[in-house]
């Protein structure tokens, strides 16, 4: 699903496609439908549900969110560091309006901010939950602790005796 998402995002940000969108506003509906479908597929992979068969392990979900975010950030980086305007259809001619370069820089800022707001919390929560040990890396529940430890406490290291058990 990540490959399809990346392909859709890249195809809609190509200069040829963006220029076609500017000239034919009816393409905006096709853009919204395809981006919504691809984005929904990625988010369904990232959402943690205990009963979902074939659920990705937490590290894989964090990596998938990071890869989706970085795919968009790479496009933003390329557009932002470009010395020329990518989108010929958006040259502004009115006096006092934004230049094409300023317009492109605003688009780059949006391409950086939106994925950061969407994917960074997912990455953070997934990694913290995985490192916290609330579930194993495969996403299944942890095995029950031994009967000598109170409920919810981790098992003591092997070879150590609890002060309540005789030697």
The domain of 15 spans 2-87+100-132
Would residue 50 count as lying in a domain?
A: yes
**pLDDT per residue as tens digits for the range 35-58:** 999 999 998 888 866 666 777 888
Would residue 37 count as lying in a domain?
A: yes
Token output for 138: 């495969």
**pLDDT per residue as tens digits for the range 56-90:** 888 888 899 999 999 999 999 998 888 777 777 76
Q: What is the model's pLDDT at position 166?
A: 59
Would residue 45 count as lying in a domain?
A: yes
Would residue 93 count as lying in a domain?
A: no
Tell me which DSSP letter residue 96 carries: T
Would residue 148 count as lying in a domain?
A: no
* The dihedral formed by the CA atoms of 88, 77, 4 and 15, expressed in degrees to the nearest 10: 10
Q: What is the model's pLDDT at position 139?
A: 46
Would residue 166 count as lying in a domain?
A: no
Would residue 155 count as lying in a domain?
A: no
Report how far residue 27's alpha carbon sits from residue 8's, in angstroms, rounded to the nearest whole number: 14
Would residue 18 count as lying in a domain?
A: yes
Report how far residue 76's alpha carbon sits from residue 104's, in angstroms, rounded to the nearest whole number: 9
The answer to whether the beta carbons of residues 5 and 66 sit under 8 Å apart is no
* Overall domain count for the chain: 1
**pLDDT per residue as tens digits for the range 103-147:** 788 889 999 999 999 999 989 988 888 887 654 444 444 444 445
Q: 111's torsion region: left (phi>0), alpha (psi -120 to 50) or beta?
A: alpha
């Amino acid at each position: 699903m990540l490959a399809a998402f990346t392909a859709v995002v890249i195809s809609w940000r190509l200069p040829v496609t963006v220029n076609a969108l500017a000239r034919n506003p009816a393409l905006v509906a096709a853009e919204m439908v395809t981006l919504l479908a691809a984005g929904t597929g990625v988010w369904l992979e990232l959402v943690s549900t205990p009963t979902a068969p074939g659920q990705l392990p937490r590290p894989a979900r964090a990596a998938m969110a990071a890869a989706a975010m970085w795919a968009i950030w790479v496009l933003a980086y390329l557009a932002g560091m470009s010395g020329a305007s990518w989108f010929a259809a958006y040259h502004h001619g009115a006096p006092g309006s934004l230049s094409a370069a300023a317009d492109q820089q605003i688009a780059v800022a949006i391409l950086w901010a939106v994925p950061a707001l969407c994917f960074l919390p997912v990455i953070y929560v997934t990694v913290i939950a995985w490192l916290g040990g609330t579930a194993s890396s495969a996403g299944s529940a942890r095995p029950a602790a031994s009967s000598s430890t109170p409920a919810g406490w981790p098992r003591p290291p092997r070879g150590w005796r609890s002060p309540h058990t005789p030697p």
